[in-house]
Amino acid sequence: QAKAHGRNALRFFDPAMQAVVAARAELEVDLREALRLGAFELHYQAQVDARGCVSGAEALLRWQHPQRGWIAPASFIPLAEETGLILPLGLWVLDVACAQLVAWSKMPHMARLSLAVNVSARQFRQADFAAQVLAAIERSGADPRRLKLELTESLMLDNLDDTILKMSALKAHGIGFSLDDFGTGYSSLAYLKRLPLDEIKIDQSFVRDVLIDANDASIARSILALGQSLNLEVVAEGVETDAQHAFLAEHGCQAYQGYLFNRPQPARQFEAWGAGHPCPDGGEETGRARL
Ligand code: C2E
Ligand code: MG
Ligand code: MG
Ligand code: MG
């Protein structure tokens, strides 16, 4: 019986595996439907500079599932990558982020913020990725200098020449680049030097235990020193406590992101939160909020 259906049919004899396959198929159907119905939303988390002023935001994707409520990206991005749904979804994210930048450009307290967008490997590897980003910018009228793209180490190193070509094409238009989750991959310093990066983000796994794990502390310090020597901005991710913030500041960190400042929140709430944190020392001129 199994042989008649070919080798793939064998897995259906394992009920646990069958349940996993069924759940994935259902999630895939739901994802397609969600894209059609517009059930996705971007939430925004602040990036805060050394003075405590909000200098930017990261856009984080959320899915409002009809039965399951808000779903975090870790539970659907991998499947979206496998199925290719990440391509239309990624385009949608770029369009919404660019439209948000245009809306913020008209709000005095938001006008100077940069906006970081996460890019998946499959999306970045498309031959026309750079053209897609530029088209989104053109459609919206967003200022490309306010847009930052976050890429991971594995993505960048997978095809270094292609990566450098695409990054350089977009950098020529003023778009910034950030290396996300730094320290979790295999970057060598030689590679890092060749990439036209503006920023590296210390992965939150090192920030979490920075005060209790000596290895994490020395990794965080090394990344901060590396950023200084390569002239890259370093953003610490997942900062939750004053003590973590103080440790990082003491070692030269200039930018922070984490629940200590705000949780990712819908645009309206983020704007209101920003308005509630005006930056007093010249904040009015720089248009930046202060915490
Ligand atoms: P990431 O880009 O490294 O984003 C940071 C993650 O850390 C976010 O999780 C954020 O909500 C969470 N976070 C922020 N501050 C804290 C903190 O103080 N403590 C803790 N424990 N967590 C904190 P989220 O939103 O669940 O996103 C997870 C990942 O999904 C992102 O990691 C990113 O890789 C991916 N992702 C999110 N949005 C998109 C998107 O639009 N496109 C693509 N391709 N990937 C996305
Ligand atoms: Mg990110
Ligand atoms: Mg990250
Ligand atoms: Mg991550």
> What is the overall mean pLDDT for the chain?
91
More confident residue, 11 or 197: 197
- Across 51-67, average pLDDT: 94
Residue 111, pLDDT above cutoff 50: yes
Residue 55, pLDDT above cutoff 80: yes
Residue 59, pLDDT above cutoff 70: yes
Q: For 186-219, how does the pLDDT look when each residue is reduced to its tens digit (9 = 90+)?
A: 777 788 889 999 999 999 999 999 999 999 999 9
Residues that place a CB less than 5 A from ion ligand 2: 118, 150, 180
The pLDDT score that the predictor gives to residue 6 is: 56
The pLDDT score that the predictor gives to residue 284 is: 46
- Indicate whether residue 254 lines ligand 1 (CB < 6 A): no
More confident residue, 270 or 284: 270
- Indicate whether residue 120 lines ligand 1 (CB < 6 A): yes
* pLDDT grade for 130, boundaries at 50, 70 and 90: very high
Percent of the chain past pLDDT 70, that is, above it, reads 91
The pLDDT score that the predictor gives to residue 14 is: 80
- Indicate whether residue 240 lines ligand 1 (CB < 6 A): yes
Nearest CA owner, ligand 1 atom 12: 238
* pLDDT grade for 286, boundaries at 50, 70 and 90: very low
Residue 78, pLDDT above cutoff 70: yes
Residue 89, pLDDT above cutoff 90: yes
Residue 287, pLDDT above cutoff 70: no
Q: For 226-277, how does the pLDDT look when each residue is reduced to its tens digit (9 = 90+)?
A: 999 999 999 999 999 999 999 999 999 999 999 999 999 999 999 999 998 7
- Indicate whether residue 60 lines ligand 1 (CB < 6 A): yes
Report how far ligand 1's centroid is from the alpha carbon of 115 (Å). 14
- Across 62-80, average pLDDT: 92
pTM for the model stands at 0.92
The pLDDT score that the predictor gives to residue 281 is: 55
Nearest CA owner, ligand 1 atom 46: 118
Partnered with residue 235 across adjacent β-strands are 201, 255
Residue 285, pLDDT above cutoff 70: no
Nearest CA owner, ligand 1 atom 23: 238
- Indicate whether residue 183 lines ligand 1 (CB < 6 A): no
Percent of the chain past pLDDT 90, that is, above it, reads 79
- Indicate whether residue 118 lines ligand 1 (CB < 6 A): yes
